[in-house]
Amino acid sequence: MKKDDRRKEQNHRAVVEHYAEIAEAYDRRWDRYTERTLDTLIEHLDLEPVEDLLDVACGTGRLEIKLRERKPSLRLTGTDLSPDMIRIAQKRLPEGDSMRWDVAPAESLPFGDGSFDAVVCANAFHLVPDQPAALKEFHRVLRPNGQLVIVDWCPEYRTVALLLAGSRLFGRQYRQLHRTRDLSKIVERHGFTVGTARPFRATWFWGLHVIAAERRG
């Protein structure tokens, strides 16, 4: 096994183990943070033309509830590495004709080319060990001119930079963060036109950024 593949596998395993431990308490522990970050994501998503939406790293399905309230006709798909988080999401919003849940990594999505009008990823892109591969997958499963919205931790905020430094010393999970301008350029290099790239605070501690882009070609 190549070194990069081994690192990816190790990180995936660490993420699954971590969320198995905290899944039941996740919504209670992260309630305020989750509400503000998901609301910011929705603010940067034009739902009017969207019929099929993919939520990568969907967690416990709180975004799906919000989206369904805003547009009941949406066909929603949520994927996550953690089977434990997916189980909670399934209880919250059972599978049916317009709702699907899958356990899958961001770098290998089990969907055909051009399956979605929008792909979103909230609060998890920093945990993806092969971010270029994930962006290629986002591009592949999107239809032409489809929307991509990423909300993620921003190391330009001192509190987040300190957290990142500590996690690299003591954490089990690999994390890769980018400054807002750098993440915007990375997204652009993978076939997207970025319309919005801005930092924001979810709480006094949590500084994030939102990247809203459109698939080229």
CA atoms of 79 and 61, how far apart (whole Å): 10
Give residues with Cβ within 8 angstroms of 144, minimum separation 6.
114, 215, 217
The alpha carbon of 203 is separated from its chain's Cα centroid by a whole number of angstroms, namely 19
Closest by CA to 102, choosing from 74, 121, 83, is 83
Give the number of C-alpha atoms closer than 13 A to the C-alpha of residue 34, restricted to the C-beta side.
Answer: 15
The total number of structural domains in the chain stands at: 1
Q: What is the residue-level pLDDT of the chain in tens, covering all 217 positions?
A: 566 677 778 888 988 898 999 999 999 999 999 999 999 999 999 999 999 999 999 999 999 999 999 999 999 999 999 999 999 999 999 999 899 999 999 999 999 999 999 999 999 999 999 999 999 999 999 999 999 999 999 999 999 999 888 876 665 667 899 999 999 999 999 999 999 999 999 999 999 999 999 999 8
Closest by CA to 152, choosing from 130, 116, 126, 171, is 126
User: Using CA of residue 168, residue 23, residue 80, residue 186, what is the dihedral sign?
Assistant: negative
The whole domain housing 205 covers 3-215
- Which pLDDT score, from 0 to 100, does residue 172 have? 60
CATH code at position 28: 3.40.50.150
The pTM of this model reads 0.95
Report the amino acid identity of residue 94.
Answer: P
CA atoms of 4 and 179, how far apart (whole Å): 23
- Which pLDDT score, from 0 to 100, does residue 68 have? 96
Which position has the token pair 């060990």? 129
